[in-house]
Chain A
């Protein structure tokens, strides 16, 4: 490495002066150009003309010297052949530039046409849907459907987030217009064109998301009647993961339960985006055992998937929440991690014993989550186990144990936390103090006693007690 460092230094210093070297060495390095012995003794240019003449002469002599230099064939890399290649490169670059410019123009025209066409079709389809769905309905309701979907969504969200409940279909209800009748209308709308079908599917999905009851069911029937479900089922077999994911999302939103086996086959796909769609579809379509996908998950459930699944579950009250502890012994660590969070989120105290057993899990991430959950669930039985593993755990886990013990708040935990105040590590002292404050009055008393004469600890206590922080 030393030689590389030296090379680096040499390269930088020499390259900066290379221009001088090339010129000067060429001139002064040649015996023919050696200066007269008295040149250094000469006075500064007495006459500018003389200097000019001298320089000119030197330049002429340098030129002459260079004229003796005959580059060999090897030292002239730019041969005619190479020039031809260069010309091809240049031509291809020029062609590329023009192609790209055409692409920009075409793309802009295409985009604006698409946007215009999309808006026109959407408007037309919306009108047909409203007319057919609400032909026998009261005017205000029809007006409701005519509102833009975003507006509807905002209104519905304000209404206690109930719109998500509509995602799973209910039993067939009376419809205002038969799906067959609706389908006839749409057949006339050039639905053989892919773009038109795409716009209609998009509109049906958008409206379906914002509606519930009979109208939502009618839309679902229309979706089936027009064969969009078959399109989606076919898309599940395509090689492209995004086509599959789109189809899974569509089928799950429209509640096409018979597609569930085909969807479940994709549970361990290499694409994590598709896997998340499959997991969500499973939750929506399998109403009896929505979480059974956890039994068959072999791939890692990423943190992003866990966040998304929790958001999905917590926003949809119709899910049957199972006893998550049954998956705490899963061989898939990410499943264990996810269900530990679920146990904590749903306060499943019955899982305490299994959680305590997981304190010896080989995966650090799992242990950390288990410690946090035991603390938040305030499992007093875990107190000794937590104290036992404390010395062998890394700092992150130790911090979590101190907080967990604080929440548990038993007398033994308070003594342990008080001892932890003696740690040389700031993070441990800080969190031991935090734990003692969480433990209530007994912890507070111990902390106050320990802080006597310890200005650092007093500062920590002030920090922790300050509500502004």
Chain B
């Protein structure tokens, strides 16, 4: 009896072992990913078909005026357009508007609407819709400013059915970048759950934590675009899930982390692009010892961005010395990246001068969900040790970080990546003005405030660019914080998909993608 059972057990186990052994292995493989940011095949685009893209994001509100979080903007870029729209080189091209003129005193901007532009419902865009959109976003009737960049608007009026004039409270020669704000149909109240705009893709459905589906806008004004009929954003909660999705074949592409790229097989192309945000070690200028500029400068000399880029980012980041992203080539002062070359001797000297010859202790608060920032903190702790500064890492969940560190400014130092809402350098520099409600570093300098004001009101473009660069130099000289890098984003796409376009903004352009096989 017992022997029978034993034999039966052993034979069934053996059978199971044989069945489960990975005999016929399909792909998988640990091949190094082929093709980095090199040229893509420029074959004739094929129209039609579906495209599924994996994202590690949680879209919440879909109303572009309410949801200003970068993650959702990535998707909303495909549904909405403004009077002007950015292109991959950072220029502003006419979109809903066809042309515009500026008054001599730069206090009025007049836009002529593009004939034939329609909303995704088929209804034509009129001047009334533009007036409604801008008035709502600027809070003209309600007094509630929803989009910060529009605070300078005094009034908006429709001159006729296809002409709109915007009057500003004070002259602004660089107001155009703010007009990428979405144009919405007048009186439509369901934007939050069923958005309607003028962009190349229209909203179809959204299942939270699962997917957001967009379909081709049949009324889109730009002929030939978009290519795919349907674009599905698959929403995952972490990068490992994205990796298994790619390997398993349930997505055509995904935005992935650096350490995961090497595990992809050769049927994927991996394209690197800037994340268009600057990672910094933010120093709270109002707390000891960072209220002393020499201490801040010492930390700048102690931190080694090159080492961080090598260790954390596999060498794929772009070093930065100012809060303006390097992608804004016209405005970024790239020489500042080398302003503080790693120099422990100089750091110790400055610390001694400031009254801390034996260093001091400090805490670094990091949001625990961003592994890249946590790893950066670990590298920085070691670098600071060399100059006698004892740093401890304080991990908190994102909700806590946002409320305590960012909004209430209760931190000593923290690591985060900061992006900008528009193509204007103001979206990166305005937060350093002393009374800005986004000034989470508490940087306060009357000279900077005056300089920023001057740049805001400067008429001549060349002089304006020079002033923006001066402002960046001031932030670097004063060591407002330690600017580290623009972390690279990796986009994995199945072979046979082309047209990926990188922008100097945190967006994903699905309209330019197409299949070639």
Do they bind each other? no
